[in-house]
Chain A
């Protein structure tokens, strides 16, 4: 599945349509960030389609393909639900009690796809605070968004980290 960088607006002939598409995508991304920061993980998972994929490639191979390259996270909807359930339980020790996080989402760009879905990219900074220390995750999101029953839903979500390595804490225990 190739996802082109959204270099063009969804409808170059209509700046209003482009703005409205971007505003709708921003609403979804901001809602998602709020749900994750508030640890409302079941509601977060409900934003995904049944054929969804959540991928976090490694810091040394940001274009990694999970089929042939080692990545940090490669969840289908079943594992995504398991991840959310586990993180909300007491059994995910690194997040029990869970960390305080704050996600800043910006630089949102949107482009229409021939199949009717939307491609979107965004920049993020995620701060994670726990037991007196702070972790910072910075990078770029790549989304494919589907419109289902009038609502935008996440079909594909890829988190590309700008970090050189995970050295600071050695783990990804939150949803990035």
Chain B
């Protein structure tokens, strides 16, 4: 049954388990405001057959690996965002994917990213652990997003006046 589910599991704040095309553990070490080191391990059962191991390695390197078809572009996105954010202009970062769904989101949605940033925000404010819940559906999405968005726009407008 486990093999029929894919997921990205975040163990706040610096550990991620990618249970997708290959089972991967990622450790995140922030080294500075503009540098982060990520160490990835690809896990496999010790007794796995040669055929399955070869397929597992292939799945990892083509997708999660640093020479694969996805990870270099993810790194590019992170670096490009860092360049953009360092301009100091953006007041808002949109990670709303999946907030409009009534059903629990699939693993490609961004619930885990929102959970991370809400807790991170609470931590840097010294508020301590917060229970992470998220009401779903279009109505809740609007209720949640619009005041935040309006505040962000207002703050941005104020800062440029």
Inter-subunit contact A171/B75 (CB<8 Å): yes
Interface residues on A, range: 20 to 34
Task: Say whether A94 contacts B60, CB under 8 Å.
Answer: no
Interface string of B51-85 (1 = CB under 8 A from A): 00110011011100111010111011100100100
Q: Give A159 Cβ to nearest chain B Cβ, in Å.
A: 10
Contact across chains for A94 and B75 when beta carbons are under 8 A apart = yes
For the complex, what is the distance from the CA of A166 to the CA of B37, rounded to whole Å?
Answer: 11
Q: Does residue B11 face the partner (Cβ distance < 8 Å to A)?
A: no
A66 to B62, CA, bound (A): 12
Interface check B38, CB cutoff 8 A: yes
Interchain CB contact under 8 A, B42 and A171? no
By beta carbon, the residue of chain A nearest B77 is A93
Q: A170 interface residue, CB < 8 Å from B?
A: yes
Instruction: Tell me whether A79 is interfacial, beta carbon within 8 Å.
Output: yes
* Distance between Cα atoms of A173 and B66 in the complex (Å): 8
With A and B bound together, what is the CA distance between A70 and B65 in angstroms? 9
Q: How far is the CA of A167 from the CA of B50 in the complex (A)?
A: 30
Residues of A within 8 A of B71 (CB): 171
A12→B6 CA distance, assembly (Å): 58
Give per-residue flags for B76-116: 1 if the beta carbon is below 8 A from chain A beta carbons, else 0. Answer: 11001001000000000000000000000000000000000
Question: Is the contact region of chain B dominated by helix, strand, or loop, or is it mixed?
Answer: helix
Contact call B72/A70, Cβ cutoff below 8 A: no
Bound-complex Cα distance A172 to B57 (A): 17
Give the residue of B50, B65, B75 whose beta carbon is less than 8 angstroms from that of A72. Answer: B65
Residues of chain B within 8 A (CB-CB) of A170 are 38, 66, 75
Q: Binary interface profile of A, 72-110, with partner B (CB < 8 Å = 1, else 0)?
A: 111000010011001000001110000000000000000
Beyond A86-B69, A170-B38, A172-B67, whether A93 also contacts B60 by CB under 8 A is: no
- What is the CA–CA distance of A70 and B57 in the complex, to the nearest angstrom? 6
**Within 8 Å CB of B65, what residues of A?**
70, 72-73
Residues of A within 8 Å of B73, CB to CB, are: 92-94, 173
CB within 8 Å of B: which A31-60 residues = 56
Query: Which residues of chain A in 1-25 are interfacial with respect to chain B, using CB atoms and an 8 Å cutoff?
Result: none
- Asked if A94 and B76 make an inter-chain contact with CB atoms under 8 angstroms apart, the answer reads yes
**Given A68-B50, A72-B61, A74-B61; A166-B66 close (CB under 8 Å):** yes
- A69 to B56, alpha carbons, bound, how many Å? 11
Residues A172 and B72 in contact in the complex (CB < 8 Å), given A66-B57, A72-B67, A73-B67: yes
- CB of A122 closer than 8 Å to a CB of B: no
A72, A93, A167, A171, most chain B CB atoms within 10 A: A171
**In the docked arrangement, what's the CA distance between A79 and B76, Å?**
22
Q: Which residues of B contact A166 (CB under 8 A)?
A: 66
When chains A and B are docked, how far (Å) is the Cα of A102 from the Cα of B80? 24
B66 A172 Cβ-Cβ under 8 A: yes
Q: Which residues of A contact B (CB under 8 A)?
A: 56, 66-74, 79, 82-83, 86, 92-94, 131, 166-167, 169-173
* 19 CB-based A-B contacts, threshold 8 Å: A67-B50, A67-B53, A68-B57, A69-B57, A70-B42, A70-B57, A70-B65, A71-B57, A72-B66, A73-B67, A74-B57, A93-B73, A93-B77, A93-B80, A94-B72, A94-B73, A166-B66, A170-B75, A173-B73
